[in-house]
Amino acid sequence: MNIIAITACPTGVAHTFMAKKKLEEAARKLGHSIKVETQGATGIEDELTKEDVAEADILILAVEVGISKKERFANIKKVEIPIATAIKNAEGLIKKIEAKLNVPAK
């Protein structure tokens, strides 16, 4: 599965990057590719490209605030979760997405 994600917390510092790390670790462990854009105090980092969006199977929005350039994701399946969910149980989240999208386990 090809996953894209955005992480953003109110201050845009610690939780934003903690969630990114947990999502990346869980996706790799489960055999999926992932690219995570962060939005926070330093602006947008690792911005998702049009190609990233076009090739993605799912967008995970682990956000606690509004995000910039949200219109890029109008035509993609998405899951919006509290950022704490990504930090505490990224693997469980991705397994639920696998089940919903009927992705075979690796």
9 is catalytic: yes
Pairing of strands 58-63, 78-81: parallel
- CA distances to 17, 58, 87 from 76, rounded to whole Å, are 23, 7, 23
Q: How many angstroms separate the CA atoms of 28 and 23, rounded?
A: 9
In angstroms, the CA 62 to CA 65 distance is 9
Instruction: Please identify which of the residues 9, 27, 60, 87 carries the catalytic annotation.
Output: 9
The residues assigned a catalytic role are: 9
